[in-house]
Amino acid sequence: MDTSAFHRVRQDFSLPDEYPRPALDEAEHAAATAPAGSRRDATDVPLVTIDPPGARDLDQAMAIERVGDGYRVHYAIADVGAFVVPEGELDQEARGRGQTLYLPDGKVPLHPPVLSEAVASLLPDQTAPAALWTIDLDHRGELVDARVDRALVRSRAQLEYRTALAEGHESIALLPEVGRLRRERAIERGAVELQLPDQRVERDGDGWRLALRLRNDTDAWNAEISLLTGTAAAKIMIDARIGVLRTLPPVDPEAVEWLRRSAATLGLDWPAAVPVARFLSGLDAARPGVMALYMDATRLLRGAGYTVFDGAEPELSEHAGIAAPYAHVTAPLRRLVDRFATEVCLAVCAGEPVPEWVRTALPTLPDLMAASDGLAAKVDRACLDQVEAWVLADRVGEEFDAVVLRAGAESAEVFIVEPPVLARCAGAGLPEGATIRVRLTEVDVDRRRVSFAPATTLVPGRDEGTEGTARD
């Protein structure tokens, strides 16, 4: 297996392999210098992080406690602003990158590792500067109050998604309870969540393999805390009439009706009185018909972008997928826009003017992030395509089980069950949601392309026997 192709992916997309010396000098100087400004000492808050195994760029740490009949969420976010000189060499380089890009053999970091994987990261047993959110919820998990300030924090432990709750750390003992409440409130609002499995590349000895990871409860509950913080940040910025929001236009009612027809075709029972958010939340993502419907439902969530405003409330403030105003503030080590939104919230909560360098930068962020998001999607797809070609290179002519996810006039998008491959399959009229037999007809490793054609249909028509029902 030729792993040099990841290097070729980097070349194809002109990805930088190192930081420019002036920007790196700034980062190294910042790493060796104590952060400027006053901070409250919050090292007594028993924070923990939940991240993939081996991660070093840790943006978030949390601790949840019960207060009366409600809850208090302490959520520390890495304070990148403590290390980056506004409009300096490092700032300009980060603006050009936009976000950390993840490839199977390594990352192209937004910030140099001397910061993002060391002094700026919320690593365990390290005192680090943070933007510390204090968020109060009532007994139903509804937001009551939120504020953020600069603090010094110290994480007690670095937990992994798969085992975080099993370890029984007291700081996240209430995470399932709060996570469920927040998810239920989101469904009530009409938040649309698609629980598509995550196709990923993993090391396999000296090579690589494809794996499929279904979202588990810890993933979902951890995400709810991040979403909670993003909605709190959005409210702070909207009330102050300055900031940058992550927005998504309202769902088109015609698209919902189209999705209802698609669900009926797939044999999924969708009662007329059940809203789209509740229906989708009650489905089993592992079922073939549900996977196909989730792929169809992605058209409900098109048009995401960033909305900047300064002096007046924005015309578009909500994110349709969340059914509330929302902002990116929880991943500043890995995503550029979070640093600027956080600086706005810090200034507002401190009763201070938003720094002029932040105001000047805000209008540039939507274009910078759009370019970065587009590049990240292309790089991710290229890496997956490359590994798909590698693992299938010697299997031309073999047949595989596949789920038809989205059918077109002359071909369909199909998901191969084993190995987990997302590909195009030639053929007209392939039944969405059906499990069919496909034959691998061609593999082009250099062009990262695999081709399939139908063989024998195993389960014609709809996904029989796997009906999903909406949760009451």
Please answer whether residues 186 and 225 qualify as being in contact, where contact means their C-beta atoms are separated by less than 8 angstroms. Answer: no
Give the Cα separation of 119 and 117 in Å (integer): 7
Is residue 309 packed enough to be buried (19+ CB in 10 Å), middle (13-18) or exposed (0-12)? buried
User: Helix 365-392 and helix 336-350: axis angle, to 10°?
Assistant: 140
Indicate the SS3 state at residue 101. Answer: strand
The CB density around residue 140, as the number of other CB atoms within 10 Å, is 12
Position 287 scores a pLDDT of: 78
Contacts 24+ apart (CB under 8 A), 409-414: 413/295, 414/438, 414/452
Position 297 scores a pLDDT of: 86
CA proximity to 117, closest of 141, 100, 134: 100
* Residue reference for tokens 């937004």: 110
Contacts with 229 (C-beta within 8 Å, 6 or more apart), sequence order: 73, 75, 77, 133, 135, 146, 329, 330
Q: Check: CATH 1.20.210.10 for 253-296+393-457? A: no
Please answer whether residues 80 and 109 qualify as being in contact, where contact means their C-beta atoms are separated by less than 8 angstroms. Answer: no
Give the Cα separation of 454 and 299 in Å (integer): 26
Please answer whether residues 327 and 243 qualify as being in contact, where contact means their C-beta atoms are separated by less than 8 angstroms. Answer: yes
Position 398 scores a pLDDT of: 95
* Residue reference for tokens 């009366």: 68
The CB density around residue 320, as the number of other CB atoms within 10 Å, is 21
- The number of angstroms, rounded, from the C-alpha of 408 to the middle of its chain's C-alpha atoms is 28
C-alpha dist (Å) from residue 134 to 74, 152, 229? 5, 14, 9
Query: What ranges in 305-449 are assigned the alpha helix state H?
Result: 336-350, 356-361, 365-392
User: Helix 217-240 and helix 336-350: axis angle, to 10°?
Assistant: 50
Query: What ranges in 194-329 are assigned the alpha helix state H?
Result: 217-240, 253-265, 276-281, 288-297
Position 199 scores a pLDDT of: 85
Please answer whether residues 428 and 410 qualify as being in contact, where contact means their C-beta atoms are separated by less than 8 angstroms. Answer: yes
Give the Cα separation of 24 and 242 in Å (integer): 31
Domain boundaries, the chain: 5-248+304-387, 253-296+393-457
Give the Cα separation of 224 and 143 in Å (integer): 12
pTM metric for this prediction: 0.91
Contacts with 257 (C-beta within 8 Å, 6 or more apart), sequence order: none
CA proximity to 240, closest of 339, 152, 346: 346
Residue 279 region, left (φ>0) first, then alpha (ψ -120 to 50), else beta? alpha
Position 2 scores a pLDDT of: 42
Per-residue pLDDT of the chain (472 residues; tens, 9 = 90+): 444 569 999 999 999 989 999 999 999 999 999 887 789 999 999 999 999 888 999 999 999 999 999 999 999 999 999 999 999 999 999 999 999 999 999 999 999 999 999 999 999 999 999 999 999 999 999 999 999 999 999 999 999 988 888 888 999 999 999 999 999 999 999 999 887 778 889 988 888 999 988 778 888 899 999 999 999 999 999 999 999 999 999 988 888 998 998 888 888 899 999 999 999 988 887 777 787 888 888 888 889 999 999 999 999 999 999 999 999 999 999 999 999 999 999 999 999 999 999 999 999 999 999 999 999 999 999 999 999 999 999 999 999 999 888 888 889 989 888 898 988 999 888 888 888 899 999 999 999 999 999 996 444 444 433 333 333 3
Give the Cα separation of 341 and 330 in Å (integer): 10
DSSP of 220-240, one letter per residue? HHHHHHHHHHHHHHHHHHHHH
Give the Cα separation of 292 and 400 in Å (integer): 18
Q: What share of the chain is helix, strand, coil (3-state, %, to 5)?
A: 35, 30, 35
Kindly report the CA angle at 58 between 227 and 52, in degrees rounded to 5? Answer: 85
